[in-house]
Amino acid sequence: GQQLNQSPQSMFIQEGEDVSMNCTSSSIFNTWLWYKQDPGEGPVLLIALYKAGELTSNGRLTAQFGITRKDSFLNISASIPSDVGIYFCAGQNSGTSYGKLTFGQGTILTVHP
Amino acid sequence: DAMVIQNPRYQVTQFGKPVTLSCSQTLNHNVMYWYQQKSSQAPKLLFHYYDKDFNNEADTPDNFQSRRPNTSFCFLDIRSPGLGDAAMYLCATTTGVADTQYFGPGTRLTVL
């Protein structure tokens, strides 16, 4: 089955630093999604990518859908303490019976003030 | 305003005592999903409803059941919770089979 490898598993950074994380897949996806999950809460959608090569920004966040459709990255610029949380990538294919998400393992982000 | 609502947010049950978790949505979405998420892991899909059609993942234990009495509500029933069923349970919804999924805040289940 499809698997996503998300890296790094965890990051410890200083406030103000930029962050980069990525996901790679053994097979292609039509859609890439990036979610953030705070402790004790559900994942919140940050960015959705629908086309190979697409580069999309949401405030300080930028994500790209890889040209091969097998990878995606998320960048966070000028990190702040509220960026702390777990970031998940997820791949999805249209045409499946239920739009099942395949999740990466998550990146735990810690930001030191 | 909350669009996907889960109740309760925290649930404590005893080993073997049936428990029901609730999810409701104000989005009128066709599809509702239930996920199980254990600590430091990604969410794992248990099953989903497309309208009234129920779809079970192959590796979901029989101990887990679901009901969807109408478009807005979906329930997760755990018939005989074991210690290994302690987890965060997430509900998600989407308009169609390949649209973005929106998650609820989750219910944290503790099994004593």
The minimum CA-CA distance between B62 and chain A, rounded to whole Å, is 20
Give residue B95's pLDDT: 83
The minimum CA-CA distance between A40 and chain B, rounded to whole Å, is 8
The CA–CA distances, whole Å, from B6 to A32, B12, B77 equal 26, 15, 14
Quick: pLDDT tens for A10-59: 999 999 999 999 999 998 999 999 999 999 999 999 999 999 999 999 99
- B100 and A40 within 8 Å at the Cβ level: the answer is no
Buried b / exposed e over A13-30, threshold 16 CB at 10 Å, is eeeeeebebbbbbeeebb
Q: Which two tokens stand for residue A50?
A: 């629908």
Q: B56: part of which helix (H) or strand (E)?
A: strand B53-56
Give residue A2's pLDDT: 59
Give residue A1's pLDDT: 52
